[in-house]
Amino acid sequence: MKPRKGRAEACANIALAKYWGKSPRGDNLTATSSLSLTLDNLRTRTEVLLDDSLSEDEVVLSGTALTGRGRERVTALLDRFRSLTGRKVFAHVTTENDFPTAAGLASSASGFAALSVAADAAFQTSLGAARLSSIARRSSASAGRSLYGGYVELRREADTASVVVPGTHFPLSMVVAVVTAQEKPISSTGGMLHTEKTSPYYPAWVDVSESVFESVKVGIVERDFERVANGMEHSARLMHATMMTSVPPVIYLRGATVELMHEVAARRGRGEPVAYTMDAGPNVKILTTPEHEATLGAWLGGFPGVSNVIVCRSGPAAAVLSTDGSLGTAARAEELQ
Residues that bind ligand PMV in the complex, under the rule CB under 6 A: 15, 18-20, 34, 108, 140-142, 188-189, 279-280
Q: Name which of 36 and 330 has its Cβ closer to ligand PMV.
A: 36
Q: Is 200 strand, coil or helix?
A: coil
Give the nearest distance from C-beta 32 to ligand PMV in angstroms: 8
Q: How far is the CB of 87 from ligand PMV (least distance, A)?
A: 28
CB of 4 to ligand PMV, least distance (A): 28
Query: Between residues 107 and 173, which has the closer beta carbon with respect to ligand PMV?
Result: 107
Q: How far apart are CA 290 and CA 41, in angstroms?
A: 14
**Residue 10 φ/ψ, nearest 5 degrees:** -140, 150
DSSP tally for the chain: helices H, then strands E: 8, 13
Are 217 and 164 in contact by the 8 Å Cβ rule? The answer is: yes
Judged by beta carbon, residue 18 or residue 71, the one nearer ligand PMV is 18
Cβ at position 228, least distance to ligand PMV in Å: 15
How, if at all, do strands 275-277 and 306-313 pair? Answer: unpaired
Nearer to ligand PMV, 18 or 82 (CB): 18
CB of 28 to ligand PMV, least distance (A): 8
The length of the chain is: 337
Distance CA 208, CA 228 (A): 16
* CA nearest to 16, candidates 227, 208, 196: 227
Residue 89: DSSP 8-state: -
Closest CA to 288 of 299, 302, 274: 274
Between 31 and 321, CB nearer to ligand PMV = 31
CB 17 within 8 A of CB 34: yes
- For the bound state, the minimum distance from the C-beta of residue 19 to ligand PMV, rounded and expressed in Å, comes to 4
Tell me whether residue 2 or residue 25 sits nearer to ligand PMV (CB atom): 25
